[in-house]
Amino acid sequence: MKHRARILVIDDDDGIRKTLSKILENRGYLVEALENGRQAIEASNKRFFNVALIDIRLSDMEGTELLERLRETEPKLVKIIITGYGSLQNAIEAVNKGADGYVLKPFDAKELLAMIEKHLKKQRENMEYSDRKVAKYIETRVKQIELEKWKERAK
């Protein structure tokens, strides 16, 4: 069974939330669309999301503040800023604060999906690499433990 990526959409504009949800669900992603930063933090504490699409201006906090807070709770989460304020300054600030990318409103659905897929591929590769490394550590550690036990018994 293929794993379906979970995407968090955070935007106070109901129209944008619905549009993005439809685009992403049609592509097979599991989507949770929320209107503010507080709800996003609660949701990310409850379950793992692969990607978060964050509007730069939210009703209760700046999108860049949410970026930093999500980075603390879920470092593996891919964070993409959506900005209607397409200045280079906003984009630079977002990337400096931990965004993996940004899209400008009005966005092109194809470009957005391509960006998400590129990040998901990289995330998958990183996770697989880290899984292999930790599994290798577990194997090595268990061998050491068994050797220590064997030495204890041999005394």
Q: Minimum distance from CB of 131 to another protein (Å)? A: 3
Kindly tell me which of 118 and 124 has the beta carbon lying closer to another protein.
Answer: 124
Give the angle 109-117-14 at the CA atoms, nearest 5°.
40
In angstroms, give the least distance from the CB of 136 to another protein.
9
Q: 18 or 132: whose CB is closer to another protein? A: 132
Contacts with another protein by CB under 8 A lie at 46, 48, 127-128, 130-132, 134-135, 138-139, 141-142, 145-146
Report the residue number, 65 or 148, with the smaller CB distance to another protein.
148
Nearer to another protein, 92 or 138 (CB): 138
The DSSP H or E segment spanning 101 is: strand 101-104
CA angle 21, 40, 123 (to 5 degrees): 70
The distance of closest approach from Cβ of residue 5 to another protein in the complex, given in angstroms and rounded to an integer, is 15
Secondary structure letter of residue 25 according to DSSP: H
**CB 29, min distance to another protein, A:** 19
Q: Where are the alpha helices (DSSP H) in the chain?
A: 14-26, 37-46, 63-73, 88-96, 109-154
The rounded radius of gyration (Å) of the Cα atoms in the chain is 20
Least Cβ distance, residue 46 to another protein (angstroms): 7
- Helices 37-46 and 63-73 pack at an angle, to 10 degrees, of 10
| Closest to another protein by CB, 65 or 139 | 139
